[in-house]
Amino acid sequence: MTFFKRIWQSVQDIVRKADMKLLGLCMVCTVFGLVLIASATNYLGPETQFKRVLIQAAGAVIGIGAYFIFSNIDVDYFSEKWWLFLVFNIGFIALLRTPLGVERYGNRSWLEIPHFPVNIQPAEIVRLTFTVLLARQIGWFRDKRRMKGLGSLLLPAAHAGFMFVWIYVVSKDAGSGLMYLVIYAGMALAAGLAWYWFAIGFTGLGLGIGLLALFEKLPDYWVGRFRVLFDHSYDSLGRGYQQSRGMLALGSGGLFGQGLFQGIQTQGVIDGSLPARQTDFIFCVCGEELGFVGCLVIIALEFFVVYRCFQTARLARSSMDALICVGFGAMMIFQVLENIGMCLFVMPVIGLTLPFFSYGGSSIVALYAAMGMVSGVRGRTLPDWLRKT
């Protein structure tokens, strides 16, 4: 009896140290997402629909386990072995060039492990260790140099830039790599990097892209994805097809939608129906079937998750802990804005899903693990006497 009592006491301690409000928000998002995924895959038949929902639910369960684990791990201690993090980040991405790597939609972004039920997206997993490593790096510069020296700008920027280039070279997935730059930008801004550096950076980036486009050095599909934003009639059956169908689905939903499992585009089986409806365009599924009100609920839920991240950052005991929260918060903000903007035909399609709602096993596990790190930061802000009560 004593053994089971100790086990129960350990479980209580683990739960008590976790941020249950943040976990509750994530779980509400996940349940809502499961309903939308069930509707989005309904046209594939009961067997496939059940399989997709089951995989997503299993990913969420594993993710919740990861949430509690990371809530009880002090990442400051592990980050001292920073070189192991760096080797892991580079090596895990490099696995995509082995026979385990598989290509989809022109990107070699997934690992297919024999007898494993789902594919793994290394860029989603590496994003966690990268964020911790970058937070340690920028936090050191902030504490020692107050982000004033040139090194405090160049070294972290070079770190993030290297990861972007490495992911693109290995997998051709610019969208996943872009998230690393976003995390850096969010952290650098929070750490106090002067605004003019961002102005210089964005200006230089814009000029560089403009020159590459002028001399026709950019990939055609990149140019097409941006061109279609300014001319919706351009290549409406090619580059603009997905977003055109997405806009049609969103516009037809009205205020309250056509009803769950009733959307014309979502439930259609013909070629002209909504593409990628359980992944990239899950927001359009909500818009068509649950209307503007359903979309507002999604936005509100995502907002509260992000708000909790930033609220925790303000309570953090160290610069590194605060920057971890900011990095994951910035990641979610950009991913939500990009995904919804893509559905609204104002942002290019770069393969970023809607956090906690879109189908994807690696994605949801990584998201819960990231929020677990945020939860751990909040837990470490409590005094010892309060943690033990």
The pLDDT-based confidence of 271 (bands split at 50, 70, 90) is low
Q: What residue has token string 């051709």?
A: 172
* HSE-CB of 363 using CA atoms within 13 angstroms: 22
Average pLDDT, whole number, for the chain?
A: 87
Cβ neighbours, 10 Å, residue 264: 14
Q: How confident is the model at residue 389 (pLDDT cuts 50, 70, 90)?
A: very low
Quote the CA–CA distance of 196 and 199 in Å, as a whole number: 5
136: amino acid identity, one letter? R
Give pLDDT, residue 96: 93
Where helices occur in the chain by DSSP H, the ranges are: 2-17, 20-40, 46-71, 75-79, 82-94, 122-145, 150-171, 174-191, 195-214, 220-230, 241-253, 264-267, 282-315, 319-343, 361-380, 384-387
Are 309 and 25 in contact by the 8 Å Cβ rule? The answer is no
- Give the pLDDT confidence score for residue 3 in this predicted structure: 67
What tens digit of pLDDT does each residue of 56-88 get? 999 999 999 999 999 988 887 777 888 888 999
Report the b/e string of 19-47 with b at 16+ CB within 10 A. beebbebbbebbebbbbbbbbbbbbeeee
Are 59 and 67 contacting, i.e. CB atoms less than 8 angstroms apart?
Answer: no
Give the Cα-Cα-Cα angle 245, 251, 255 (nearest 5 degrees): 145
Count Cβ neighbours within 10 Å for each residue of 146-182 and write b for 16 or more, e otherwise: ebeeeebbeebbebbeebbebbbebbbbbbbbbbbbb
The average pLDDT across 159-172 equals: 93
